[in-house]
Structure 1
Amino acid sequence: MLCLQMLTTSAVFVSTQPPLTSFLPYTFRGAYIFAFLSFTHALGGLMCGLAVLNIYGACDRIWVKDVLTASRFRLCCTLRFVGWPCISLTISIMFLMLALLIASYAPELWWVQCLITVEVLSWAWLPPFFTWCAIS
């Protein structure tokens, strides 16, 4: 569900003109490129997720054990294929956030830049904090 929302949000940013170009010009070249990359990763994640659902819906557990997990290489590839929709969605979200960050710094409005900086800093502490908590 989240992948579909990300796909539609990215598609809106890629396919429409901004209503206030002086406020948030997301058709600026750098922002547009990252919005397009976000769209392609969301689309790829959706296609991969649908493939995983169709494959696992059509097979039984004996076939999975005998074929998909027959060797260490096949197991690693299967686990990567199953996890790729989540990875692709994360990359898509990061690209869209970067596109909006670039678009918000383009018009030189100090109060928008301050709000965006506070917003980015409110999210930036999460990966180091998670890493610190995960390492024993």
Structure 2
Amino acid sequence: MNVSDVEIIIEPWKKLIIHEIIEYNFDDWATQIAFSSKTAGGVIPTINWVNGIVFQSFNFPDTNSVIDEKMKGVLHWSSVMFAVKEKFEKQIIKDNATINLVDVSVNQIFQELAEKLKAHSKYQKKH
């Protein structure tokens, strides 16, 4: 087989289904993350930031049914924890613990997710 005979297809995800969203006040969540970091032996946690939202997502394990859904272009997340944080910072020091933020705003799905989460937020300033 010649390399030029290989067909390359880019097929974006068609749907993201989130089964539970949990919103925190950012300072409260950062305190909780810092405490968890200390009890886990000082591991530096990393959370995603996009367009004024910080979040962590949790996937279902790859069972046969989950893989079948993924092959159809459908992602299922068991939950998303999030908070409003307008300003991006690479690191936050909270209660003597470091929390890293990663700017994932280049990802179109995460941009759309941030807009949905803002719409659900009880802390987001409504314009």
Class of the TM-score when normalised by the shorter of the 2 chains = under 0.3
TM-score by length of 1: 0.20
More strand by share: 2
TM-score by length of 2: 0.21
